[in-house]
Amino acid sequence: MNGPLAGLRVLEVGHILAGPYATMLLADLGAQVTKVEPPGGDLSRQVSATYFASLNRGKRSVRLDLATAAGQDRLHELVRDADALLVNLKPSAIERFGLTHEALKPFNERLVCVALTGWGMDAGDAAAFDYVVQAATGIAALTGDPDGPPLLPGYSSADNSAGLAAALGLLAQVHSGRGGQIEVSLRDVMLSQLNYHAAAWLNDGKAPRRLGGAHAYYVPAQLFPTAEGHLALFITHDGFWRSFAAEAGIEGYATMAERAARRDEVIATVTAALAADTATGWEARLRPRRVPAAAVRTLPDALAEAPDAVVEAGGHRLVGSPFRIAGHEPWYGPPPRLGEHGGMA
């Protein structure tokens, strides 16, 4: 392992997505990541081998029963040589298994401990799966058509976002050179990602409303039907509008303020203009003008157009690391077999 995080030793205790995604990103960058798995393994092993591989490539696996004295002894041995521990369990389990900096500092005072939970360590053990958190934090209420029901994105945005935040917090504390405890909750991460919506409510009393995927400030910035397929158009300033309007044959609405004030009229005008061509046709016409636009693609189509994003790891074809670092070629190892690197017989 020769990546920028080579030499960093991270322990992971957790299941399914948020925590394993965080540590996989670290492993892609060269960290040595050891999964401390219970006797039955990470629950994601029960979903499918491909699912497990998508979150656990390039890691080691140690199988331990942390409810036993032998399991705790082995954990403490691992902790002595580790730089960080990332735990993705409910708060009571984190405390019960002694997976906090307070409990582990006698074995390694410089250990960085990250507790990745749904609602926070002091909030109890209420279920905190991705879709539950999206519903509770206002994400679902903002998603969907104005006259329709709230909707959820088609992927685990809360888990993935929290994983990224946990990895960042871990690295920040490691960089400080001090051990300590970090808390990251799915709730806090999703509220943070509602940044400008939250600020508008907290400062101006302006509650966000469901706009069918349209942006709250920029107009037009949403999906539009075309003669065939849908087009994402994202006009964030007047220069983009001038270029788009010239190609689409639209006059007027020269400023963002005017377009925002006459939102419904602008959307109707743009919708009528875009009906003259297909989504891929508009994309081809607008890209040379540097107008932000893209035809809606399926995931298979998107992957077919991005072969450089696909890697091979232990016989699985997966999406590779999102980090492109000059001079570094990531090594994508296979996902570990349960207990492959030690632990229970």
Residue reference for tokens 């735990």: 87
For 195-218, give one letter per residue: b (16+ CB within 10 A) or e: eebeebeeeeeeeeebbeebeeeb
Q: Which among 87, 89, 66 has a CA at the least distance from the CA of 76?
A: 66
Q: How far apart are CA 51 and CA 114, in angstroms?
A: 24
Q: In the chain, how long is the greatest CA-to-CA distance?
A: 75
Catalytic residue flag (residue 42): no
User: What does DSSP assign to residue 343?
Assistant: B
Q: Which two structure tokens, joined as six digits, stand for 38?
A: 């219970």
DSSP letter string over 54-86? HHHTT-EEEE--TTSHHHHHHHHHHHHT-SEEE
Which of 159, 204, 277, 301 is labelled catalytic?
159
Distances in Å between the Cα of 76 and the Cα atoms of 7, 80, 114, 128, 190 are: 19, 6, 16, 28, 33
What positions carry a catalytic annotation?
A: 159
